[in-house]
Amino acid sequence: MGGYGDVQLLRDDGLRLDGRKVDEMREVKIEAGILPAADGSAWVQHGLNVAVCAVYGPMEAHPRKIQRQDRAVIDVRYNMAPFSTSDRIRPGFNRRSREISKVTAESLESVVLVERFPRSKIRVEIEILAAEAGTRCVGITAASVALADAGIPMRDMIVGVASGKIEDTVVLDLDKAEDNYGQADLPMGILPTTGEIAFLQMDGDLSVEEYNTCVEYNMKAAKEIHELQIDALKRRYEEKNGGA
Amino acid sequence: MGRLVGRHGDKEMSGAKEGAELRLVTPGEAIGASSGVRAGTGTLVQGENIIATKVGWVKDNNGVVSVDPIHSAYMPRSGDLVIGVVESVRNNLWFADVNGPFNGLLPMSLAPWKVEFGAARVHMDIGDIMLARVQEVDEAHNIVLTMKGVGLRKLKDGIMANISMNHISRLRGDSDSTLNKLKEVSDCRIIVAENGRVWVDGDSEGISFMRKVFELVRNDGHKAEFNASLDAMMNQRRNA
């Protein structure tokens, strides 16, 4: 049963509390280029999560001690707005946002051709405006679109997506209740074209079979989100051209 | 997904023919097989495929497949005319932000003044704007600027605007035809630098007209009807 005893997360008809099937994702909407001041930007809504991402650069890296002689550094700042959850979040960096900024930067480094811009810095600012579980994945999805919009060379897009386990059942894309009262959570950063995994974290316990199912669900969802990313980027420029 | 060619800059895209279908690609998207063709800018060979690394239009020029990016950062090349903003000053040199990934360095010896050691600040201080040329870019991406040359100077009056790198050619037009028209209509001095910065000096009305032009470039710079909108704007001002 669930990690917290008597919380029922699966309905008797086999569907989840919000009526989704076990392998069904929340609705995702993506827009590219929403911030005029940024070099590239994106807005992603994933269920009730809303993330905005702005990308600046490549620019001279300051302070000089962070410069790398052979490549660019990606400076990610993940932040949750104080009003993003029902309990007000104290503004500013905390342990959790530091961790997420770090893992996001590392996963983005695997797609961005950082060796093209030695000694420089690419600034990625991810702001979570509304949170409902899975914000690190939404942040990665948004950052990928914003980087592409900024014209930063990348060898693939990257999609953040999570699966997990509730009531001994593997489900795709956990919502808040499932994340809080479920048994396990497996967020992944996936390169959709090649199927490579750039980022993987696991919270809770999964058997090998359950893990494999999670990966399978994530891969499938990553392809769907990738389509939406491409659509957002193409729509932005098709519109700019006044249509085809 | 594709559209008909009708965009400015197609002349430079020698591979493209009028009416040919252009393909918009996103990073990671396979453009085609890598055998028999060479990978140009904005692309990468991955396995047996050529993939795009940027959002842009695919072009094929005599067997070299490349992606013409929609948005890209300025990469300095020697000989470029740039507008720089002084970021820091040392005893004998200035560092200038040239809108690129690395700062430009202007040594005392390449400044147009006779500068005493330690008195660099007297001539140009932080925040001052200069018109300079890229003297050289070395393998470590150090950019050396020079202000020795005709017209290169510190810019004291006027305004500086930023436009996307990819819209510079649209603002200039064929052999600067659009730019010359804008100069005549606005009655302003205009310098379009290679790093996406534009300097305008003139009376306030001319400057406010040019601000509107930059707004148009930012919003509609990609559209096929950009030139028509710009002509309409210029005619309106001529008749006013």
Question: In order of start, what are the domains of chain B with their CATH numbers?
Answer: 2-69 (2.40.50.100), 81-155 (2.40.50.140), 159-239 (3.30.1370.10)
Is pLDDT of B103 > 50? yes
Q: Which residues contact A216 (CB under 8 A, 6 or more apart)?
A: none
| Predicted local confidence at residue A239, as pLDDT | 58
Is pLDDT of B111 > 80? yes
Q: Tell me the mean pLDDT in the region A207-222.
A: 97
Going by C-alpha positions, the residue among A219, A71, A64 that lies closest to residue B141 is: A71
| Predicted local confidence at residue A142, as pLDDT | 98
Q: Tell me the mean pLDDT in the region B137-141.
A: 83
Q: Nearest-CA distance from A145 to chain B in Å?
A: 10
Q: Which residues of B touch A241 (CB under 8 A)?
A: 3, 7, 222-224
Q: Tell me the mean pLDDT in the region B93-117.
A: 92
* Interface residue of A114, A120, A149, A156 to substitute, partner B, most B CBs within 10 Å: A156
In angstroms, rounded to a whole number, what is the distance separating the alpha carbons of residues A199 and A160? 9
Q: Tell me the mean pLDDT in the region A202-207.
A: 94
| Predicted local confidence at residue B18, as pLDDT | 43
Helix or strand holding residue B121 (H, E)? helix B120-123
CATH code of the region A28-240: 3.30.230.70
| Predicted local confidence at residue A232, as pLDDT | 96
Q: Tell me the mean pLDDT in the region A148-160.
A: 95
Structural contact between residues B189 and B203, judged by C-beta atoms closer than 8 angstroms: no
Residue A240's pLDDT band (cuts 50, 70, 90): very low
Is pLDDT of A175 > 50? yes
A40, A149, A244 member nearest B3 (Cβ): A244
Please indicate whether, in this complex, the C-beta atoms of A237 and B222 are within 8 angstroms of each other: yes
Whether B28 and chain A come into contact, CB under 8 Å, resolves to yes
In angstroms, rounded to a whole number, what is the distance separating the alpha carbons of residues A192 and A152? 18
| Predicted local confidence at residue B68, as pLDDT | 86
Is pLDDT of A157 > 50? yes
Please indicate whether, in this complex, the C-beta atoms of A39 and B26 are within 8 angstroms of each other: no
Average pLDDT, chain A: 92
Q: Which residue has the higher pLDDT, B222 or A83?
A: A83
| Predicted local confidence at residue B8, as pLDDT | 43
| Predicted local confidence at residue B21, as pLDDT | 60
Tell me which chain A residue has its CA closest to the CA of residue B221: A240
In angstroms, rounded to a whole number, what is the distance separating the alpha carbons of residues A154 and A143? 12
A39, A151, A242 member nearest B54 (Cβ): A151
| Predicted local confidence at residue B12, as pLDDT | 43
Q: Which residues of B touch A157 (CB under 8 A)?
A: 26-28
What digits encode the pLDDT tens for the residues B4-58? 444 444 444 444 444 456 788 999 999 999 888 999 999 999 989 999 999 988 9
Is pLDDT of B212 > 80? yes
Structure token pair of residue A34? 């929403």
Q: How far is CA B35 from the centre of its chain?
A: 33
For chain B positions 211-230, those within 8 Å of chain A (CB to CB) are 218, 220-225
| Predicted local confidence at residue B218, as pLDDT | 84
| Predicted local confidence at residue A229, as pLDDT | 97
Q: Which residues of B touch A152 (CB under 8 A)?
A: 54, 73
Tell me which chain B residue has its CA closest to the CA of residue A121: B101
In which residue are the tokens 């890296």 written? A61
Strand partners, B197: B162
Whether B29 and chain A come into contact, CB under 8 Å, resolves to yes
Query: B30-33 and B49-52 as β-strands: parallel, antiparallel, unpaired?
Result: antiparallel
| Predicted local confidence at residue B165, as pLDDT | 86
Tell me which chain B residue has its CA closest to the CA of residue A112: B53
Helix ranges, A20-134 (H): 95-109
A120, A151, A244 member nearest B102 (Cβ): A120
Q: Tell me the mean pLDDT in the region A65-77.
A: 94
